[in-house]
């Protein structure tokens, strides 16, 4: 009997999602394109829908990542891929057309700071049901999503927020590292990002500039590409960021790990060199039950890119979200309260 049960458990854990799940990507810039390449290596998930600002594509049989990226580079939008589907309201139209999609990764800029919450509203208004995952960064942006939790729950949407690298992978690592302690004193997240050129990740860089002294989200959003390039020329391509408004703080507070003022996030972004300027790490300091002070440190490999550390967790949380959704658990969850699943 026990053996039969174990065999069933193992059989279902071999393919917990069943048939490949149809997945969509909203936003097809740096992260969206990297996400399509991540999915190309998976068998449990199949990319069938993509939208950018000017167009969209849907094919329930699957969209090829290389062809989609090449088409987007050649024409400036995914909308030229097959049927020339161009629109000024791509997300709205894709939600209605792509009926087979069970989950979306929202690789969209959060510019203005309320944009992602407005996208969630669009899904609610469309009566859509399924799983949404974002990689949003700001505390105030994640807080907006949290206020939508009841509405999302009532609509049958499971929304995983803050599921990139930081917040995301590193926040979850902090939640794990905290388990050694009976009292958590500080969580320090320090990231190093290296990218070959800033144009590959325009939204990411603008949103990082918004954390610099003298800038805010609106100022960074209003900057032209030339102005961003001029700023980077003055800093030798480096952005050094301290005490950022990052949602790791509210997520760890909500998960009961520590108060938000004990969480700090900063880092260095090199926009001219794919090599990381420093090793990304999270340091969790606390006191054990025996009264010993100690620090648990989790450090990412220097060869892991920003794209790998954002898209991997995003799909891991999408898989976890699909399992929650199928069990009838809806509403907003953060990366600090749910374990990501590994997508095969
Ligand atoms: P990008 O500028 O390279 O691409 C943005 C894409 O979104 C483009 O395809 C654009 O056409 C599309 N888009 C813009 N407005 C749209 C609209 N109204 N409708 C449909 N599509 C629209 O962006 P990126 O650098 O890949 O960054 C995406 C997001 O990921 C940013 O918000 C960034 O902050 C976030 N990010 C999170 C982490 C993390 O660790 N949590 C790390 C890096 C980036």
In what helix (H) or strand (E) does residue 239 lie, and over which residues does it extend?
Answer: strand 238-241
Instruction: Tell me which residue has its CA closest to atom 16 in ligand 1.
Output: 53
Backbone angles phi, psi at 253, to 5 degrees: -65, -45
- State the pLDDT at residue 8: 54
Residues 6+ apart with CB under 8 A from 313: 163, 164, 165, 168, 169, 172, 335, 340
Instruction: Tell me which residue has its CA closest to atom 13 in ligand 1.
Output: 53
Which pLDDT tens digit goes with each residue over 239-286? 999 999 999 999 999 999 999 999 999 999 999 999 999 999 999 999
Task: State the distance from the centre of ligand 1 to the C-alpha of 6, rounded, in angstroms.
Answer: 43
Band (3; pLDDT cuts 50, 70, 90): low
- State the pLDDT at residue 325: 98
Catalytic residue check, 211: yes
Reply yes or no on whether the pLDDT at 12 is more than 90. no
- State the pLDDT at residue 18: 83
Ligand 1 surroundings by CB, under 6 angstroms: 26-32, 51-53, 90-91, 107-110, 135, 137, 164-168, 201-204, 207, 306, 310
Reply yes or no on whether the pLDDT at 5 is more than 60. no
Band (83; pLDDT cuts 50, 70, 90): confident
Nearest-10 Cα torsion for 263, 256, 146, 96: 100
Residues 6+ apart with CB under 8 A from 263: 174, 186, 187, 189, 246, 248, 249, 252, 253
Which pLDDT tens digit goes with each residue over 51-80? 999 999 999 999 999 999 999 999 999 999
Q: Which residues pair with 282 in a beta bridge?
A: 189, 298
Domains and CATH numbers, the chain: 2-164+307-334 (3.40.50.720), 169-301 (no CATH)
Which pLDDT tens digit goes with each residue over 143-161? 999 999 999 999 999 999 9
User: Average pLDDT of the chain?
Assistant: 95
Nearest Cα to 15, choosing from 335, 338, 315, 341? 341
269 backbone φψ class: left, alpha, beta (φ>0; ψ -120 to 50): beta
CA distances from 191 to 167, 277, 281, 336 (A): 11, 9, 6, 18
CB neighbour burial string for 180-194, b if at least 16 within 10 angstroms, e if fewer: bbeebeebbbbbbbb
Cis amide prior to 167 (ω within 30 degrees): yes
Instruction: Tell me which residue has its CA closest to atom 14 in ligand 1.
Output: 53
**For ligand 1, what atom is nearest to the CA of residue 309?**
40
In what helix (H) or strand (E) does residue 264 lie, and over which residues does it extend?
Answer: strand 263-270
Q: 211, 319, 330, 341: which one is catalytic?
A: 211
**Best probe residue, ligand 1, of 26, 28, 29, 171 (max atoms within 8 Å of C-beta):** 29
Which pLDDT tens digit goes with each residue over 31-58? 999 999 999 999 999 999 999 999 999 9
Reply yes or no on whether the pLDDT at 14 is more than 80. no
pTM: 0.95
Nearest Cα to 19, choosing from 46, 37, 38? 46
């Amino acid at each position: 009997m026990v053996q039969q049960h174990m065999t069933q458990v193992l059989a279902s854990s071999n393919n917990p999602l069943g048939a490949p799940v149809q997945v969509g990507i909203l936003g097809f810039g740096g992260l969206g394109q990297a996400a399509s390449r991540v999915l190309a290596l998976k068998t449990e998930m199949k990319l069938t829908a993509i939208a950018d600002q000017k167009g969209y594509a849907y094919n329930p049989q699957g969209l090829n990542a290389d062809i989609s990226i090449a088409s987007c580079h050649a024409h400036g939008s995914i909308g030229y891929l097959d049927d020339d589907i161009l629109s000024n309201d791509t997300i709205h139209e894709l939600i209605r057309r792509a009926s087979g999609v069970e989950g979306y990764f929202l690789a969209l800029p959060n510019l203005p700071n309320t944009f992602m919450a407005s996208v969630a509203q669009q899904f609610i208004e469309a009566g859509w049901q399924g799983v949404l995952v974002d990689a949003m960064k700001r505390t105030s942006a994640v807080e907006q999503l949290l206020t939508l939790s009841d509405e999302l729950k009532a609509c049958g949407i499971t929304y995983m927020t803050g599921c990139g690298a930081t917040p995301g992978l590193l926040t979850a690592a902090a939640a794990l590292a905290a388990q050694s302690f009976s009292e958590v004193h500080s969580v320090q997240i320090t990231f190093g990002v290296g990218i070959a050129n800033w144009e590959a990740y325009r939204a990411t860089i603008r949103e990082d500039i918004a954390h610099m002294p003298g800038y805010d989200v609106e100022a960074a959003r209003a900057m032209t590409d030339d102005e961003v390039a001029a700023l980077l020329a003055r800093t030798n391509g480096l952005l050094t960021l301290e005490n950022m408004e990052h949602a790791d703080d509210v997520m760890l507070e909500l998960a009961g790990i520590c108060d938000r003022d004990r969480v700090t996030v900063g880092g260095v972004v090199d926009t001219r060199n794919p090599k990381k300027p420093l090793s990304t790490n999270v340091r969790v300091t606390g006191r054990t039950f025996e009264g010993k002070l100690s620090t648990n440190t989790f450090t990412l490999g220097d060869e892991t890119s920003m794209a790998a550390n954002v898209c991997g967790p995003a799909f891991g949380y999408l898989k976890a979200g699909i399992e929650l959704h199928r069990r009838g658990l809806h509403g907003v969850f953060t990366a600090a309260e749910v374990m990501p699943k590994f997508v095969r």
